[in-house]
Amino acid sequence: MRTFTHDGTVRMVWTAAMVARVYLDLGMAAMLFVKEYFGDKNRGYGQQIVEVFHKLRVRKFKDPYGPAKEQFEGTGSYGNGAAMRTAPIALFCHKNYEELLDTARKCAELTHTHKQGYNGAILQVRQKGEEA
């Protein structure tokens, strides 16, 4: 029995994407998130992210940011989920500050397109990057 939440699941998926270097292909990264969700829906995912995953799958990942941008009447989510998955970004990108910030924002915007959502991820990764 796996005893972790959706935040841990998404962090593990993002880590695997970074190891395989598929995080550079955001459609593929989104596909990995969706595959994991549909493989085990009982991790405590919120309804908003479930809607994003459904739309990504139906649209065949053509616009990885589209469904997240549509949330909350077009303002996007500003929740903490994007910041929860930044640890692997700091590990993989700590030597290149611009790549660190860019990767954090791109990863965040797959699910959190409100400026508070992606900036929270950027702040987290900056802190972790400085610690590395």
User: Per the annotation, where are the binding residues for Mg(2+)?
Assistant: 5, 7
Burial class (CB in 10 A: 0-12, 13-18, 19+), 112: buried
- Binding-site residue set: 5, 7
CA distance 79 to 61: 22
Q: Which residue has the tokens 């692997």?
A: 88
Q: Report the Cα–Cα distance between both ends of the chain, in Å, rounded.
A: 32
Q: Which residue has the tokens 């695997």?
A: 16
The count of residues in the chain is: 132
Q: For residue 116, which amino acid is it?
A: Q
Q: For residue 112, which amino acid is it?
A: H
